[in-house]
Chain A
Amino acid sequence: MAIELNTIYFVNKFGSEKKQIPFPIAPNIKLMDVVPEISKKFGISSQNICIANMGGQVLTYTDLLSPVRELVEKFGNTFDIIDRGIVG
């Protein structure tokens, strides 16, 4: 049986133009499991990556361990991708 896929959207606001990447994903997958793939798509180092919802709420580590279905119901289907931009 084919697995149902939901599309979630990631928006990156670094740069002069905001960019969006649609990301088809099975609803039972934990977001944490696809963070490396998301990092790769946006070119952000995995350690620097941060995800927030449209209301400006940054997702916690516990949130990232929830299945995508739950996250979409709780935060919506569109997320901002943020590079922390650590300097030393």
Chain B
Amino acid sequence: MTYQKSKRRRSISTFNIPKIIVDVIKNQARLSENEIYGWLIGYQKNTIPNVIAIIECNKFEQQTLISAVPNAQEFQDFSTIMPQGIGPIGIYHSHPFSSDIFHSHTDDKTLISLSNQFSNCVSLVTNGKEINYYQMGKNQQINEIRAQFNDPQSLRFLLVSMNIDLEIQVDSNLLTDENYDKKLKIKILNRIKEYLEKIWINLGFYYQNTKIAKQDSIDNYLANNLFDEPIHIKIPQNLNNLNILISDNLTTESIFQNNIKLKLGVKTPIYIVDQKKYFYEINQAIKIELLSNNILQKIYFSILSDNKSSILLPNDFYIKFFEFYIRFLYFDNPEMNENKLSSKNFEFIYKLISLIENFASVQLDKRFQEYIAKFLTDIENFSIKFQWQKKLKKKILSLKKEYKF
């Protein structure tokens, strides 16, 4: 696609974003006196970014009429629940009360920094009425780009699962430490990470009990929903002998009397845009998602049983958010949920519901109506596990009424 500018013809980059999302962003900007900020969520296909959702920034280190500094924790919170293959591919913000839309020097610096992490990062700026899109070009030059108002395509994923049973021997001296619970978990987390990093190359991928070759195309294994048969990642017998000894300092005085059982079970979707890829090409992506975005996080939020004989890990709960699944953690035990995960989950779910409220202000097509209906149903099912269910019930009901679900 080409267009005329400064008497010189040159190609202009494009990216895909649903018109509904653009209208929501404009509406957010119109309703705020300060700069708004948020992240464009999506994937990339053939170097073209495809926006399929947004996350609004609610926590700022600074938010004024002319600047916005988002809180890093908020980015960490939402990027962790995103599945591999889908994530923040751009940002949006507003210049309130400005008649012209421009990309400031600060915006340029940030877009360059973000483009070093994701090369086709998109920066969207609006005054509530008009909207412009920018991308970094050659020699770090910031160019205006064009949006194509295309709806997202349905995405498929590889569903991968891994189960490991571990027996951990803990130095009894460590259990007398005042902060033994946290100390122990971090030590286990470090050891398991080191262990899995070391043996990852030897792990076997199995589908319906048949080993998958690394040169196999992933096309035949793609799933549409979380109940499909997963690909099982297995540790070979000769490596399945991890003897974890946990101590403050391994000395002859260490007494390994306490055996703690840890059952690690994960199942996660890995979203695939290019279905022609082979397993060896996505091996690293699977490893990073399982190890660094799932297993370690679960160990971090785990609970040591009262009799110190087992470590209880939280479960995954998947919520359909627009076109993809996002992951939350919960315990089967309500008391554990309240002590450990309740406030974090509530804060995030509340934030997502507020985002969905913004969509009520624009004309929705059938696809977006279905997204929102499914999202609200999933939220209702998830909230049953927490005491804050009642707090959200009214809000969800009024949203359902507004959307006529």
Contact = CB atoms under 8 A, between A and B. Distances in A.
A20 B110 contact: no
B91 interface: yes
A21 to B, nearest CB: 10
A85 B43 contact: no
A9 B43 CA distance: 24
A15 B189 contact: no
B87 A15 contact: yes
Nearest to A16: B43
B56 interface: no
Nearest to A72: B190
Interface residues of B, number: 61
Contact of B84 (A9, A18, A76, A83): A18
A14 interface: yes
Nearest to B300: A55
Contact of A88 (B77, B104, B190, B273): B104
B194 A43 contact: no
A87 B104 CA distance: 8
Contacts of A50: 72
A87 B37 CA distance: 8
Given A76-B186, A87-B67, A88-B106, A15 B293 contact: no
Contacts of A76: 186, 189-190, 193, 296, 300
Contacts of A78: 189, 193, 291-292, 296
Interface string A6-17: 010101111111
A77 B193 contact: yes
Given A58-B73, A82-B76, A42 B186 contact: no
Given A11-B292, A43-B117, A16 B72 contact: no
B72 A58 contact: yes
Interface string B178-212: 00000100110110011001000000000000000
B18 interface: no
B277 to A, nearest CB: 12
Contact of A13 (B87, B105, B121): B87
Interface in B269-310: 273, 284-285, 287-289, 291-293, 296-297, 300-301
A1 B289 CA distance: 37
A54 B291 CA distance: 11
- The 10 A-B pairs of least Cβ separation, nearest first, read A43-B116, A88-B106, A15-B118, A13-B79, A50-B72, A55-B300, A14-B117, A16-B43, A54-B296, A87-B93
10 contacts: A9-B193, A13-B87, A14-B117, A16-B87, A43-B116, A45-B113, A73-B187, A78-B193, A86-B68, A87-B104
Given A48-B113, A88-B104, 6 more contacts: A52-B72, A52-B76, A82-B72, A85-B70, A86-B106, A86-B110
